[in-house]
Structure 1
């Protein structure tokens, strides 16, 4: 995922984050020309927990669609494990929303590579040497597409004249690697969907009702989590056919890639798409089809570990406690193995 041409960034803000004194937020302004030739000016925000300042390894969290970072307990969990914790609110999302830009809008999925470049380069300036990406849903597609690009670390550093850390692993939380249909149905309808969204990119579908998945999460509807409904609205933002077209293109491109970086994919055991009640939705992934997700992951990732979480929600960290604990322990186990492999690799490199 290459950066949009002519793009440059500058830091415009550095302050305590809205999550409290343990969190810092840095805002960056991106301006220049996109590949379409249009002028642009957007913002991206890097949030980090201030704990573990001397640790050279970190987690970088990338959120999903109609989403932003608010999971303070997740950050605290990794801090206790001995990691620094960072999260990025991508351009057009959460803290990076601006009145002059449409929520969640993108010309191309590739443009989010700029957000990840900014995050990684800033983390390197903070002293981070090794980074593991943790990405949810659409963030999983974005991070995977970014890592699939055949660039070397030296190429990145030369392009930006900035040092970058090593990305040593990828953890995926219910990644949006395929449209939310069963594998059989997806094979028969994928072409008509591509044709429709390509022919009508200007269509924007709006919902006026809170969806059942959102009702299963937010305290307003009896859920466990309290987050900003202006940044993560219960009825969602308008669904742009242009956005959906770019998602489909990114998924097709990723299906033809081979990613060798160590990858953990955690997903729910079953899908509950279309269920009418909150209790039914909460038995599994109410947003994506886990079988199509698994097939897509098997095609692309060549060093893949998969864990199915019983009664895991679409965002596994927002699941009820038993499923959440299983999700967290699965990441701990995988990270332990990753660290052992990384240390062994470094040892061999240091040997004469």
Structure 2
């Protein structure tokens, strides 16, 4: 199968997904920055004739496992899809380090494949939902000069129309308060640029992971080889590319209808699980909001009290508030 914007890929597998009989997974192979890579499109089998869909894109050190999220959108009448990006989850291969990327823009290939496949399935309109780094990935993708113009004109037969964007705690700014961010962003960028092949070794299990997984008393049982509790080794090159993408996005203006959901407070640096669970233990909420305000001109913001960094993984009251916010917003853009 050939992509309509000069990319090329091949579907290499389709099977029942590990999440069970309600889910199918399709794997695609294509040329990455250095080697052949794979991307995996998972979809829920519900509403097979619906012409609107949700496409979910996960965050860093992550993969799609939230079956209840899929079922929520299916119950609303949408078809549901999720991507495991190249180098993540179902798409990890021995040829490349997990989570490695040459640039955030490379994931545009994964999104092209997903959208073209969704269109072939009979979907005409898509709302993209991006979590954390996934929010940065999809925003970068939509901010490309050709993204919303050429895809909806010259390539409109190959891609569905992207009618909205939902962001779940997007990684639009480094995890520092606004007053600190301006002072630290350049030194961090210089450091990671000078040491592009360096890593911060992942050794210690982080508090956020302890708040999630069942082995630590959390609610969620997911694969620790794909989402390890200590994280993967943090590449300075990856961090540099994140900063580059964030700075580029800050100079763009996107008028696509956008909903950003985030926790009410940040709990970065808290030392107990209970304290961390009171808010976002990964990113700074204030810097996130400021970055979103700079880029998205048709923005709705919703604060979720006691929402975790991944709002869907929060305790039930915050999770329900998050789902309700997305439901109400989706109805508003119909």
When normalised by structure 2's length, the TM-score is: 0.96
- 1:55 maps to which of 46, 50, 56: 50
2:249 and 2:166 map into 1 onto residues whose CA distance is 16
Question: Mind listing any 5+ residue stretches in structure 2 that lack a counterpart?
Answer: none
1:150 Cα offset (Å): 2.0
1:160 Cα offset (Å): 7.7
- 2:88 maps to which of 77, 85, 93: 93
Alignment of 1:125-136 (within 5 A): 125-136=120-131
Residues 153 and 164 in structure 1, CA contact (< 8 A), matched pair in contact too: no
Decide whether aligned partners of structure 1 residues 154 and 277 sit closer, same or farther in structure 2, where only a CA change above 3 A counts.
closer
Decide whether aligned partners of structure 1 residues 92 and 26 sit closer, same or farther in structure 2, where only a CA change above 3 A counts.
same
- Other structure's SS at 1:131 match: strand
Match of 1:346?
Answer: none
Question: Which structure has more helix as a fraction of its residues?
Answer: 1
Residues 157 and 163 in structure 1, CA contact (< 8 A), matched pair in contact too: no
1:88 and 1:168 map into 2 onto residues whose CA distance is 18
Match of 2:12?
Answer: 12
Cα RMSD after superposing both structures? 1.7
Decide whether aligned partners of structure 1 residues 59 and 6 sit closer, same or farther in structure 2, where only a CA change above 3 A counts.
closer
Runs of 4+ in 1 over 6 A off after TM superposition: 157-162
Match of 1:84?
Answer: 79
- Other structure's SS at 2:27 match: strand
Alignment of 1:1-352 (within 5 A): 7-31=7-31, 34=33, 39-151=34-146, 155-156=150-151, 163-339=158-334
- Other structure's SS at 1:64 match: coil
1:127 and 1:136 map into 2 onto residues whose CA distance is 25
Query: Bigger shift: 184-193 or 89-98?
Result: 184-193
1:207 and 1:158 map into 2 onto residues whose CA distance is 45
What is the aligned residue count?
A: 331
1:322 and 1:223 map into 2 onto residues whose CA distance is 15
Residues 141 and 147 in structure 2, CA contact (< 8 A), matched pair in contact too: no
1:153 Cα offset (Å): 5.7
Residues 204 and 240 in structure 1, CA contact (< 8 A), matched pair in contact too: yes
1:31 Cα offset (Å): 2.0
Residues 302 and 325 in structure 2, CA contact (< 8 A), matched pair in contact too: yes
When normalised by structure 1's length, the TM-score is: 0.91
Deviations 1:87-125 (A, max 9, x none): 000000000000111000011111000000000000000
